[in-house]
């Protein structure tokens, strides 16, 4: 690897891979609650145990892959420990036959992450909604986020990134409920929490005041900002979002993606296989930031974008 003089504009950017691989033979497994519920408890646990062990081994391989390929961040898919919080089949690592092996693998992951300085994040699924007026939604969200906080402790992840949720006809009221619920989160979650602008409801201009007030950094998704714009230009949003991280002594976090069908034909929201280099904001090129690449071709898209920007 050429680490020195020839790398020009993008050598300060840490690129991130999201969740899974397209070509590299690293896979994560799943199991549904319905399947598990048909089994007696002991078989449930041995089934889940096998899958969890497989998944943490795959996570370790993922970190090896990214560090071998000059990728500096990895987003971990939420169901790493499948159905961990499901009311009917929930379990703890101590319940699993391979619990000890799984814990050893987590230890290896933490060490590897620290040694190679890989930034790890989580992006909990869309049903985690801190702004909901429905108590049961908040309860489920709290339970799921607690699990994400545990996972983050186990792998030494830095960021748990959430959207602000629904509007319910009143943005201010929704953000008010969100603020109230943030305070109730356990420290493992609160200390890692970030809010990301989304493509239908909450823009950077909506979230920045809340983030400033709560001292929670903001993840800036420029694709969402283009789909759901506000009064800020990309340059302004970039600048203001950066301060939410820098005020906390942390590295800013951005997302990039390209529209599957281009900007003109149909909805621009679905993600393309690769990133169109023109979609990469030129004002990002000299920054020391993390940019997660949200593209269907996964690791191939990250490597291609890194190459395209180097040659730009």
CB of 51 closer than 8 Å to CB of 101: no
Considering the rule CB under 7 A, would residue 62 count as an interface residue with DNA? no
Nearer to DNA, 113 or 224 (CB): 224
Residue 25's CB: how many other CB atoms inside 10 A?
A: 7
Considering the rule CB under 7 A, would residue 83 count as an interface residue with DNA? yes
Q: How far apart are CA 300 and CA 306, in angstroms?
A: 10
Nearer to DNA, 11 or 137 (CB): 137
Instruction: Give the shortest CB-134-to-DNA separation in angstroms.
Output: 6
Considering the rule CB under 7 A, would residue 84 count as an interface residue with DNA? yes
CB of 82 closer than 8 Å to CB of 48: yes
Considering the rule CB under 7 A, would residue 203 count as an interface residue with DNA? no
CA 312 to mean position of chain CA atoms = 28
Q: How far apart are CA 281 and CA 5, in angstroms?
A: 23
Q: Quick one: which of 179, 199, 230, 308 contacts DNA (CB under 7 A)? A: 199
Nearer to DNA, 20 or 214 (CB): 20
Q: Quick one: which of 7, 61, 250, 269 contacts DNA (CB under 7 A)? A: 269
Considering the rule CB under 7 A, would residue 49 count as an interface residue with DNA? no
Q: What secondary structure, in 3-state letters, does 262-299 show?
A: CCCCCCCCCECCCCCHHHCCHHHCCCCCEEEECCCCHH
The site that binds DNA (CB under 7 A) totals a number of residues, namely 53
Q: How far apart are CA 278 and CA 17, in angstroms?
A: 20
Burial (CB < 10 A; 0-12, 13-18, 19+), residue 93, is middle
Q: Quick one: which of 9, 20, 156, 304 contacts DNA (CB under 7 A)? A: 20
Considering the rule CB under 7 A, would residue 92 count as an interface residue with DNA? no
Nearer to DNA, 219 or 242 (CB): 219
> Helices 99-116 and 41-68: crossing angle, nearest 10°?
20
Residues that bind DNA (CB under 7 A): 18-20, 27-35, 38, 51, 75, 77-79, 83-87, 123-127, 129, 132-134, 137, 140, 144, 163, 165-168, 198-201, 221, 224, 266-267, 269-271, 294, 296
């Amino acid at each position: 690897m050429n680490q020195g003089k020839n790398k020009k504009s993008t050598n300060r950017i840490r690129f991130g891979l999201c969740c899974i691989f397209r070509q590299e033979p690293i896979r994560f497994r799943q199991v549904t609650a319905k399947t598990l519920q048909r089994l007696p408890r002991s078989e449930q646990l041995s089934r889940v145990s096998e899958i969890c062990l497989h998944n943490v081994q795959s996570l370790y391989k993922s970190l090896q892959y990214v560090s071998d390929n000059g990728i500096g961040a990895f987003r971990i898919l939420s169901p790493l420990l499948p159905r961990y919080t499901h009311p009917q089949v929930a379990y703890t690592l101590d319940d699993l036959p391979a619990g000890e092996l799984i814990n050893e693998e987590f230890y290896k992951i933490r060490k590897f992450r620290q040694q190679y300085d890989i930034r790890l994040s989580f992006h909990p699924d869309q049903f985690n909604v801190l702004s909901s007026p429905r108590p049961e939604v908040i309860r489920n969200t709290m339970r799921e986020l607690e699990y994400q906080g545990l996972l983050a402790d186990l792998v030494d992840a830095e960021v748990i990134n959430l959207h602000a949720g629904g509007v319910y006809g009143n943005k201010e009221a929704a953000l008010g409920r969100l603020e109230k619920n943030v305070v109730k989160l356990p420290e493992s979650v609160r200390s890692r929490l970030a809010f990301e602008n989304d493509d239908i409801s909450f823009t950077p201009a909506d979230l920045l005041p809340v983030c400033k007030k709560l001292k929670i950094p903001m993840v800036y998704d420029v694709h969402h900002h283009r789909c759901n714009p506000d009064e800020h230009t990309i340059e302004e949003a970039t600048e203001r979002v950066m301060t939410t991280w820098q005020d906390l002594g942390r590295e800013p976090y951005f997302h990039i993606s390209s529209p599957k069908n281009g900007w003109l034909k149909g909805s621009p929201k679905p993600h393309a296989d690769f990133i169109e280099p023109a979609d990469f904001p030129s004002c990002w090129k000299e920054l020391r930031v993390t940019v997660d690449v949200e593209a269907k071709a996964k690791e191939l898209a990250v490597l291609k974008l890194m190459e395209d920007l180097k040659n730009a």
